[in-house]
A and B are shown apart, each in its own frame.
Chain A
């Protein structure tokens, strides 16, 4: 009797072999069924990406510290269309700034990642130097608290490795990190919906059912 590649078995093993084949066919059906049933509610054929919903974000600072990447894949991005081009930008200046000059000690950003450029009186353009930004969210907090909220934190998808479970999402106190279909990866701030009532609630399996 041979027990090699081909499972051709002697007649004594015929019944066992038959049972094994049957069980294998059943197992195959189970695997296919599981995958099929699990994918029944597929919102995307092609995969999902993680995104911060700026309407929920409370700028806790964990985006900077909890990403699996160092530096974090989260950075500040600027929706120019929402910006007031304020001379006294609440994202740019530290509220306790002694003077309103571009000197580093007056700036909100600890790494000097915001560039300010004069446009015309009284307007200034602010842009983010991505490589310097650490995603700490200080400017976003300033801009959202007192300004127009044109600064937002977002996961940058050229950096993000799309962890199966985003390490920041897991620790985000406001459940602001959402899984969205790949096709919707580039929503900007104005394209997110309003804050759902229970921002705090960890989504339970049947919460939306």
Chain B
């Protein structure tokens, strides 16, 4: 037992201490008193949790209702103002009141861990929090991002002077999200914890408490977000990657024009997230396009293999930093070599547990093996997504009007007001623009 190592300083208690320690084996060293004075022993009542089953289910209901409201505002009412109001409400409720945890972004971890570890209990409420926004995305697009997500709305409310990023930069940064998703899941599956949650930049602001680095990152991202709209959403969010897939397949999706595109190009620059795509000129040189496609398809397997190798190498190198079992083994080894045991709490607890030294080594080896495997898969996944995007970028598009990119559009509704057909719909405009 660790306690025995605590040697009391010489003092008034020393003798009593010696007596007490010798009585160590007994369940209760000092018997329960037999009070004569009629003293009634108080009972400690732990404070009731801020959470309760009712509130947990109420949260799920509120999430579902907010998703429905966002879909109605984005697709039917076409009201940017309504979405803005819903964003403020979400910021207050999911952020300031419920303090951001648990949100669908973080629930990726819970679901991933529950899939690899049958012992890990995933509450039904968490499974629903994970699934509801995805189902909504399959029906209506990223309405969760539009006005519900606590991480998204805080950034949306500071978008002020959005700049356009060069396409190449947009594409390069766009690979970060799938990387965060893949490696976040990989680390969880390898038993290394919830790294997406650890780097949630805004939850500290909602709790109004947290490590200085986290608060600083949150404020920094909000400042960047004034000009580079919603940087976390577009470039880091792992859940946004899942939502964008759902949205690409969505049954319905917000449109810029309420009825038809008159090719006026007035909406072209209205999206702060560079999510509007225009008609593409047909490829002049068909065979060159085909050659580019063939080249991309050929390169894809190499790309995937390279990324898989890099992912494995990365998690192998990071093992002592990310996995406690690997870190423990490293510390134990360093202590053994230097002949200075028990430098850290981890090594003390291990040595006192009476576990054979080899079991720490075995646990570390198993953890490292699992990390390598997870890194391999994660890398391959990132490579696959990257290759897919390259192939998609050389494919011919048959787009003939101005439409939001279903994957990247956050359904915020800012583009509506730029479309003259919207003014017609609202009865504020007629004439040549209105009646082509």
Question: Which residues from chain A sit less than 8 Å from chain B, CB to CB?
Answer: 1-7, 20-21, 23-24, 27-28, 31-32, 34-49, 58, 60, 62, 68-70, 77-86, 88, 90, 93-100, 119-120, 123, 125, 127, 141, 144-148, 154, 156-165, 170, 173-174, 179, 181-183, 185-186, 188, 197-206, 208-209
Contact = CB atoms under 8 A, between A and B. Distances in A.
Contact of B46 (A5, A100, A188): A188
Contact of A78 (B30, B44, B359): B44
B348 to A, nearest CB: 7
A177 to B, nearest CB: 13
Nearest to A106: B12
Contacts of A197: 353, 355
Given A45-B123, A77-B46, A86-B30, A173 B114 contact: no
A96 B9 contact: yes
A204 B367 contact: yes
Interface stretch (B162-170, B218-226, B242-250, B268-276): B242-250
Q: Which DSSP category, helix, strand, loop or mixed, fits chain A's interface?
A: loop
B263 interface: no
A147 B56 contact: no
B88 interface: no
Query: Ordered nearest first, which 9 A-B pairs have the shortest CB separation?
Result: A84-B30, A95-B8, A157-B49, A43-B121, A96-B9, A4-B255, A173-B345, A158-B47, A46-B53
B426 interface: no
A5 B259 CA distance: 8
B209 A201 contact: no
A174 B211 CA distance: 23
B131 A141 contact: no
Interface string B104-144: 00110111011111111111111110110011001000000
A47 B126 contact: yes
A100 B12 contact: yes
B172 interface: no
Contacts, number: 309
B12 A70 contact: no
A3, A23, A164 — which one has the most chain B CB atoms within 10 A of its CB?
A164
Interface string B183-225: 0000001010110011000001001011100000000000000
B37 interface: yes
B346 A5 contact: no
A83 B41 CA distance: 10
A202 B366 CA distance: 12
A174 B49 contact: no
Nearest to A172: B345
A96 to B, nearest CB: 4
Given A47-B126, A84-B29, A100-B12, A209 B118 contact: yes
B325 interface: yes
28 contacts: A3-B401, A4-B259, A5-B255, A6-B252, A35-B131, A38-B114, A38-B122, A43-B123, A45-B123, A46-B53, A46-B57, A69-B207, A81-B32, A83-B32, A84-B29, A95-B9, A123-B33, A147-B20, A158-B49, A162-B49, A162-B50, A170-B198, A173-B344, A173-B348, A197-B353, A200-B353, A205-B116, A205-B117
Interface string B389-429: 00000000000110100000000000000000000000000
A28 B136 CA distance: 10
User: Quick one: which of B128, B249, B260, B344 has the most chain A CB within 10 A?
Assistant: B249
Given A99-B12, A161-B99, A173-B349, A38 B111 contact: yes
A163 B17 contact: no
Contact of B191 (A60, A174, A204): A204
B198 to A, nearest CB: 7
B123 A146 contact: no
A201 B363 contact: yes
Nearest to A49: B49
B2 interface: yes
B396 to A, nearest CB: 13
Contact of B13 (A27, A70, A95, A156): A95
